[in-house]
């Protein structure tokens, strides 16, 4: 095996499409710099995301760097470009018209991950994406956009990333280039991966079919008391040592340790 970083994906606006740089910085706080820095919220301050409305899936976002975005509706050639900070009022007006109710765009410099206690980048392997795609006769890119991992590892077999977590009370130390991370737990999935990333249409029996195939293909190294049900895919991490990463960087497992032992 020759584990290496194959892809970086950060999501400048939470729940929208990815920006895929060749190089990025993992911050001391945990996330990739600029990942989920902005989020769309409703009048109650609740996130407007794919868990709440399928309309999010039909919203296309193309980035010119992490601070400029062109928005359009899926299937439309018309788009509108915004500077995320300077054009915030215009952006909020466009999005309010799209969703049909008032929304705001909020910013947090550190980022707004779903799990603040596990704020490091999420990890999956290219082979895992290809394997899951084969279960549903989908293109790998479609599956990649359903599961929305930050870091994709090439040169390894399917579900290799399951080696990056252990039993409760322990973590797996690994490195991406010069950056040190701790793999903590397999990620529990929600309704979002069942929906087409372009249309929001739900794939029938997605959860049931996923669980059946995950059980059938489960590697021996996945065994862990953290893996308490098979509707889990990719790995949550914490940052041990921050720094820059680049596509092509080697990835190395450095061993297990007890949480809090250093």
The reported pLDDT for the residue numbered 113 is 84
> What's residue 145's pLDDT?
97
For residue 98, give Cα distances in angstroms to 58, 102, 111, 149. Answer: 10, 10, 24, 26
Residues 91 and 135 occupy one common structural domain: no
pLDDT reported for residue 66: 83
pLDDT of residue 114: 81
Name the band, by pLDDT with cuts 50, 70 and 90, for residue 21. Answer: very high
Are residues 74 and 60 in contact, defined by beta-carbon separation less than 8 angstroms?
Answer: yes
Whether 172 and 222 map to the same domain: the answer is yes
Residue 149 has pLDDT above 70, yes or no: yes
Assign residue 13 the CATH number of its domain: 2.40.33
Place of tokens 């970083």: 5
Tell me, yes or no, whether 193 and 102 share the same domain.
Answer: no
177 shares its domain with 134: yes
pLDDT band at 214 (very low <50, low <70, confident <90, very high): very high
* Residue where a domain stops, chosen among 61, 81, 107: 107
Q: Are residues 59 and 98 in the same domain?
A: yes
Same domain, 253 and 212: yes
Residue 48 is part of which domain span?
38-107
Q: Is the pTM of this model over 0.75?
A: yes
Mean pLDDT over 35-62 rounds to 94
Half-sphere exposure of 241 (CA within 13 A, CB side): 9
Of 121 and 65, the one with more pLDDT: 121
State whether 126 and 232 are in the same domain.
yes
pLDDT of residue 70: 96
pLDDT of amino acid 95: 97
Reported as a pLDDT band with limits 50, 70 and 90, residue 260 is low
pLDDT band for 262, please (50, 70, 90 cuts).
very low
Residue 192 sits in the same domain as residue 150: yes
If asked whether residues 228 and 118 sit together in one domain, one would say yes
- How many folded domains does the chain comprise? 2
The C-alpha torsion from 10 through 15 and 17 to 21, rounded to 10°, is: -10
User: Where a domain ends, among 107, 131, 157?
Assistant: 107
8-state DSSP, 109? S
Q: Are residues 81 and 193 in the same domain?
A: no
Share of the chain above pLDDT 90, in %: 87
- Phi first, then psi, for residue 256 (nearest 5°) are -90, 160
Of the listed ranges 142-146, 172-176, 191-195, the least confidently predicted one is 191-195
Residues 49 and 137 placed together within one structural domain of the fold: no
pLDDT, average across residues 117-128: 94
pLDDT digits (tens, 9 = 90+) for 51-79: 888 899 999 999 998 899 999 999 898 89
Say yes or no to pLDDT of 139 above 70.
Answer: yes
Domain boundary among 107, 130, 165: 107
Residues 136, 245, single domain; the answer is: yes
Tokens representing 171 are 């973590």
115 pLDDT higher than 80: no
């Amino acid at each position: 095996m020759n584990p290496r970083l194959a892809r970086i994906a950060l999501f400048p606006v939470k729940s929208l499409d990815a920006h895929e740089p060749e190089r990025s910085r993992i911050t001391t706080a945990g996330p990739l710099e600029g990942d989920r820095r902005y989020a769309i919220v409703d009048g109650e301050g609740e996130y407007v995301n794919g868990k709440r409305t399928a309309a999010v899936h039909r919203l296309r976002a193309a980035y010119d760097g992490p601070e400029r975005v062109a928005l359009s509706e899926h299937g439309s050639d018309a788009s509108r470009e915004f500077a995320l900070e300077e054009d915030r009022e215009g952006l909020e007006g466009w999005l309010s018209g799209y969703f049909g109710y008032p929304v705001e765009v909020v910013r947090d410099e550190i980022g707004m991950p779903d799990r603040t206690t596990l704020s490091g980048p999420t990890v999956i392997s290219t082979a895992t994406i290809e394997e899951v795609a084969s279960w549903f006769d989908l293109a790998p890119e479609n599956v990649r956009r359903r599961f929305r991992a930050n870091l994709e590892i090439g040169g390894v077999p399917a579900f290799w990333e399951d080696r990056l977590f252990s039993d409760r009370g322990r973590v797996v130390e690994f490195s991406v280039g010069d950056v040190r991370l701790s793999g903590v737990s397999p990620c529990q999935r929600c309704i979002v991966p069942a929906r087409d990333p372009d249309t929001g249409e739900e794939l029938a029996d997605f959860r049931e079919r996923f669980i059946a195939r995950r059980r059938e293909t489960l590697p021996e190294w996945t065994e862990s008391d953290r893996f308490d049900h098979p509707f889990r895919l990719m790995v949550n991490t914490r940052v041990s040592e921050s720094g820059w990463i680049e596509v092509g960087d080697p990835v190395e497992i450095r061993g297990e340790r007890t949480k809090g032992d250093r």
